[in-house]
Amino acid sequence: MFKGSFLYSIFNNKCPRCHNGDFFIDHNPYHLRHMSGMYKVCPKCGQPYELEPWFYYGAMYVSYAVSVFISLATAAIVFFIFKVGLLPGVILSCGMPFLFYPLIFRWSRLIWINVFVKYRKPTTP
């Protein structure tokens, strides 16, 4: 993923506008105590991260879609490749979104802000 692509911002925890400043304060999403700690503005370019009050309410829909995708992908893998039984397959595919919850939380917020804030190449002074 190269700089300038929204995927770079999503998977590298970077500001959607400049791709240089961090989005979440702690880089490891599995430090659960600091999982949701975000900067108010980008430390590099000053882009506000909360565009309006309750902005990340919409990220909930993205989170749902990502969770369903992970669940279905897990179901496809365990049923068609590993050919496990029905009960372990259902437990695995339903449990996988819980295992990935910290990542899903962060990806959904980053996807949501990337919908509204586009990358701008930094101008040279």
**Which amino acid does the sequence have at 99?**
L
In the bound state with Zn ion, the residue whose beta carbon lies nearer, of 49 and 70, is: 49
* Interface pattern 37-66 for Zn ion (x via CB under 5 A): -----x-xx-x-------------------
> Which residues, numbered 85-114, are part of the site for Zn ion (CB under 5 A)?
none
Give exposure, 88-115, as e/b (b: 16+ Cβ within 10 Å): ebeebbeebbeebbebbbbbbbbbbbbe
3-state secondary structure 85-102: CHHHHHHHHHHHHHHCHH
Q: State in angstroms the smallest separation of the CB of 47 from Zn ion.
A: 5
Site for Zn ion (CB under 5 A): which residue of 18, 62, 104, 111?
18
Q: The tokens of 79 are what?
A: 């049923």
Q: Which residues bind Zn ion (CB under 5 A)?
A: 15, 17-18, 21, 42, 44-45, 47
